Structure 1
Amino acid sequence: MLYICLRFPLLGLDALTNTTNVQPCALVDGGRVQLLNRAAKTAGVTASMSLTTAIALCPELHCRQRDRAREQHYWHQLALWAYRFSDDVSLSPPNALLLEVSRSLRLFGNLQRLYRTLLSAYRKRGLQLRVGIGNTPMAAELLSRQGIRAATLVNARGELQRPALKNALAAAPSRHLPLAAPQLSVLHNMGLRRVGDVLSLPRKELLSAFDDTMADTIERLTGRRSDPRPRFQPSEHFHTERQFDGGLQQCEQLRLPISAMLRELEIYLRLRQRLNRDLHWSFHFLDGHHEHWQTPVSLRHFQQPLLLELVMLQLQHVRLPGPVERLTLTCRDFIALETPAEQLFDCPEQGRQQDAMQQLFAKLQLRLGEHTIQRLASRDALLPEHQGIACPSANYQHQRVDQQALRPSWLLTTPLELDQQAGKLCWRGPLEILQGPERLDSHWWQQRQVRDYYIAQHRDHGLCWLFKDCLSQRWYLHGFFS
């Protein structure tokens, strides 16, 4: 087993604002500074300092009140993002994630490549990150507090060096062990300042000086006892957001944030094996005003580039009333992702045509309006003119067509009465009956309709659909075959 712990020391601040090191930022709780970035530290601000003192030292300090609910939600978002690198992700309170990556090494080649990709992915989001690597969950958590570079633990082939890991663990401060404050105080008073000092004690001495908790902690740290962690489970609804300090003025500036948010949704859907049916966007402006709008989704598969194109197409018709300070994306309507059974003679081109048709419908809906696009569906009726019905594209469901009876693709709105010349039916020339009759007898409770339908051929070899009204003995042209 191999674990990587990702620790976010500024998690509470990252959840509220972009913690760049250019502007001094601090997280305030109970009138005191809880977290601060490097620029604030350079200005002389320290943790636990009163807000009044901090502002006196640094008048340009950007202070944000702690929001625990938003902080936890952002933590869960980071956990969801970690599923790009491992299928075993756990939350490690108060501000860390734990990934079991032994099965991911084959995908990334080696540990060093996985480490670099992981580090780059989170730092691109402007996050401060400390990483720990270990053969047990607790070892990785302990080393993540030290911020040890992976190069000291990984050899040139990208493999973990066990002796280097053991030495790094032994050098870690014992105050970082997950123990109660009284036990940590006893370790300090005994002069056991390093984890290596604690590990060197015999088990009997540990049990005599401490309770079973200490022995259990050491055994889980060294791997002599299993340390299972509950896997992170995503919520039933998807929600993500982006904060923009100073606001974004133009729609095109939203392209990159929207693209990143859709990629997060893609990871969420893949994890839950679901497909979303809509995208709910919320724009929060600097003046406190906010707007909501929806992007309908009717695709058979999640396609991030296409969805991005649809959203930007929808934005072309939106006039932003001011700078966008925050953008949120929420999805609540999901359907199960079903993998269609493949047949021996399936045609891949047919699936691509269906995808292209759905893409066309989606673009037309965004340009013309959701209710302007309708599709033809069939309903249970015997008379052909009552079988077809136009329904909104969003409510359309594919139906299997009865292949036993041939039906034309073009049906006339009103049947056209035919003439007869020399005993032959005529419509712009003579018609030759090829097949029929097919008897339809219906509506006896209103105005009875008895018809015999035939397939006929025109002189230009086109196929027509005719019927004879058995009550009036008249012939009519009702449709054309493609």
Structure 2
Amino acid sequence: MAEQWLAVIFPALAAELWNLDGTLPGVWIADTRQRVWQMDAGAAKQGIQIGMSAAQARALAPQLQVMQRDAEREFNLLDRCAQLLYAWGPQVVALQEWPHALAVELQGNSRWRARPQALLQAIREFAGERLRIRLGLAPTSLAAALFAWQGKDGELCHGPADRSFTECWQEIPLKLLPANDTLHARWESLGLYSCGDWLRLDRRERALRFGPEWERFLDRLRGIRADPRSPWPLQEEFVVAFPLLQEVSDWQGLRFPLRRAFQELRLRLRHRASTRWELLLQGRDAQYRQLLHSRDPLTSAELFLQLWQERLQRHPWGFAARHLQLRAMDTENWAGEQGAFWEQNLLREQGQLLDRWRARLGVDSIYRVQPRADHRPEYAWHSVVPEESETNTALPDLRPRPLWLLPEPIPVSVLHEPETSELERIEGGWWDGHDVSRDYFRWRRSDGAECWVFRDRRSARYFLHGYFA
């Protein structure tokens, strides 16, 4: 049976969520029997142990914090991890035998076979420095979870390559099974320490002594019985949301969590990408929402952060943010960049420059000028977005025009009439209600400026319309 399930277990998630920023000396959580159920690394250093009575723990380390479980925060973090795992497998399930355990099916995933370390590194980065994780790989989800419990934090545990799964699973200690303390004590009193010891007993005797549910559990563990589980719901929207470790009121404090949110979304997007991103920051009594547009799909974290820096420094949020949400909008298929090396680099640099200008100045402030077939100077051009393809507009054969055209003509007094040969007559506009009849000519002002002036043939007045360089 080929290895196909990867289990991801957070052994102390409920406690560690309360101390993600490391400001507390330690945190532990008690169960319904008032015994230590979970603890973080700080509590472990003070000598706190799982199963210790709450009274003993308080007496041993009174300075440590005793917290209640936050089920909503625990679920939200598991949901984020599950959405990340969907980038590598078609099915992600919750292993309900343990509080905070997930498994992803990897069978037939060429991406996993080609780059197994990429997934492991993504999970480690997701967990960060404050969340412990256990990773296990096996042909069944239950076996993968038990392998994970045998391993060390942050390392992938699986059976030796030179041994079959049938041999490896029998060495799994029974103390790792999710049974109560009474049943574990019974197993030890009978000399049953591993799954292999269990297997040597008669099947009927095992069911009578310990109940048929454990017989079914071991069958599912070995893969000889089906283990149907409901898949973890896959989000249709690409959004990441999480509370900030500390209140953030400037760009430097927001940079790291924003990078983390982008990297999570990039892993979930897989072969898709986005050119529109929405950032939502929430404080105690305020909310800030901002959109970012890019010319090309954003796949680089550094460019993503540069664009947001330009955007947010121009439009600061002005309060202490406590929660972050990043959404990828209008996602599209993304197969990567193609083209010749030099051409590709040039186009990428041009696109990145446009994106930075847009982030700093606004989308509507960046445009390209394109000519239009019209004799009237003010209607002979129009603005288009930079991405719009350039059309081959057939322009009339005109005399030289000034580069600097005024928004509106300004009345002037001309001291001498130009020669007839110097005039350029422009008439038109009857079709759109802006009919003009003008005689244009060059005129050098007393200060030396070379002006483009016209005489309105209806009013006989002179107007300045532009300057030559």
Asked whether the two chains share a fold, i.e. TM above 0.5, the reply is yes
Counterparts in 2 of 1:125 and 1:389: CA distance versus 1, 3 Å: farther
Pairing 1:357–2:371 present: no
Whether the 8 Å CA contact 1:278–1:297 is kept in 2: the answer is yes
For residues 340 and 386 of structure 1, what CA distance do their matches in structure 2 show? 41
Alignment of 1:48-87 (within 5 A): 54-82=57-85
1:413 aligned residue (407, 415, 419): 407
Counterparts in 2 of 1:477 and 1:162: CA distance versus 1, 3 Å: farther
1:107 aligned residue (101, 114, 134): 114
Aligned to 2:18: 16
Whether the 8 Å CA contact 2:82–2:92 is kept in 1: the answer is yes
Structure 1 counterpart of 2:303, which letter? Answer: L
For residues 243 and 42 of structure 2, what CA distance do their matches in structure 1 show? 25
Aligned to 2:435: 449
Secondary structure of residue in 2 paired with 1:424: helix
For residues 443 and 35 of structure 1, what CA distance do their matches in structure 2 show? 77
Aligned to 1:130: 134
Greater shift in the superposed pair: 70-79 or 32-41: 32-41
- Give the alignment's Cα RMSD to 1 decimal: 5.7
Pairing 1:147–2:151 present: yes
Secondary structure of residue in 2 paired with 1:99: strand
Secondary structure of residue in 2 paired with 1:441: coil
Q: Measure how far apart 1:360 and its partner are.
A: 1.9
Counterparts in 2 of 1:58 and 1:192: CA distance versus 1, 3 Å: closer
Aligned to 1:170: 170
Per the normalisation by structure 1, the TM-score is: 0.65
Whether the 8 Å CA contact 2:82–2:102 is kept in 1: the answer is yes
Q: Measure how far apart 1:71 and its partner are.
A: 0.7
Gaps (5+ residues) in structure 2?
444-450
Q: Measure how far apart 1:39 and its partner are.
A: 4.1
Whether the 8 Å CA contact 2:273–2:334 is kept in 1: the answer is no
For residues 342 and 334 of structure 1, what CA distance do their matches in structure 2 show? 20
Pairing 1:261–2:261 present: yes
Whether the 8 Å CA contact 2:148–2:156 is kept in 1: the answer is no
For residues 40 and 450 of structure 1, what CA distance do their matches in structure 2 show? 85
Aligned to 1:301: 297
Q: Measure how far apart 1:141 and its partner are.
A: 1.7
Alignment of 1:295-374 (within 5 A): 295-299=290-294, 300-302=296-298, 303-312=300-309, 314=312, 327-332=322-327, 334-337=329-332, 348=344, 349-350=346-347, 352-364=349-361, 373=365
For residues 27 and 239 of structure 1, what CA distance do their matches in structure 2 show? 25
Counterparts in 2 of 1:193 and 1:105: CA distance versus 1, 3 Å: same
For residues 315 and 123 of structure 1, what CA distance do their matches in structure 2 show? 30
Whether the 8 Å CA contact 2:142–2:221 is kept in 1: the answer is yes
For residues 438 and 298 of structure 1, what CA distance do their matches in structure 2 show? 42
Q: Measure how far apart 1:238 and its partner are.
A: 2.2
Structure 1 counterpart of 2:265, which letter? Answer: L
For residues 198 and 177 of structure 2, what CA distance do their matches in structure 1 show? 10
Task: Map Cα deviations across residues 39-88 of structure 1 (whole Å, 9 max, x no partner).
Answer: 43454545566756643432111233211011110112233444676665
Q: Measure how far apart 1:307 and its partner are.
A: 2.9
Whether the 8 Å CA contact 1:7–1:129 is kept in 2: the answer is yes
Secondary structure of residue in 2 paired with 1:297: strand
Task: Map Cα deviations across residues 140-199 of structure 1 (whole Å, 9 max, x no partner).
Answer: 1222233379798566xxxx3333x44442122446557899999998898765322444
Secondary structure of residue in 2 paired with 1:35: strand
Task: Map Cα deviations across residues 397-444 of structure 1 (whole Å, 9 max, x no partner).
Answer: 966676445499865423589998553243xxxx6x9xxx99543355
Pairing 1:37–2:40 present: yes
Per the normalisation by structure 2, the TM-score is: 0.67
Secondary structure of residue in 2 paired with 1:59: coil
Structure 2 counterpart of 1:233, which letter? Answer: L
For residues 461 and 22 of structure 2, what CA distance do their matches in structure 1 show? 84
Alignment of 1:230-245 (within 5 A): 230=231, 233-234=234-235, 236=237, 237-244=239-246
Counterparts in 2 of 1:384 and 1:54: CA distance versus 1, 3 Å: farther
For residues 43 and 403 of structure 1, what CA distance do their matches in structure 2 show? 76
Task: Map Cα deviations across residues 194-238 of structure 1 (whole Å, 9 max, x no partner).
Answer: 322444567787789899866654443223455465266246332
For residues 240 and 234 of structure 1, what CA distance do their matches in structure 2 show? 15
Secondary structure of residue in 2 paired with 1:15: helix
For residues 394 and 71 of structure 2, what CA distance do their matches in structure 1 show? 65
Whether the 8 Å CA contact 2:271–2:333 is kept in 1: the answer is no
Alignment of 1:355-434 (within 5 A): 355-364=352-361, 373=365, 385=378, 403-404=392-393, 406=395, 412-415=406-409, 421-426=418-423
Pairing 1:7–2:14 present: no
Counterparts in 2 of 1:144 and 1:12: CA distance versus 1, 3 Å: same
Alignment of 1:179-218 (within 5 A): 194-200=194-200, 217-218=217-218
Secondary structure of residue in 1 paired with 2:136: strand
Aligned residues: 437
Aligned to 1:222: 222
Gaps (5+ residues) in structure 1?
284-288, 459-463
Task: Map Cα deviations across residues 328-350 of structure 1 (whole Å, 9 max, x no partner).
Answer: 32134711325599999996445
Secondary structure of residue in 1 paired with 2:169: helix
For residues 27 and 339 of structure 1, what CA distance do their matches in structure 2 show? 45
For residues 81 and 152 of structure 1, what CA distance do their matches in structure 2 show? 20
For residues 453 and 24 of structure 2, what CA distance do their matches in structure 1 show? 80
Whether the 8 Å CA contact 1:451–1:470 is kept in 2: the answer is yes
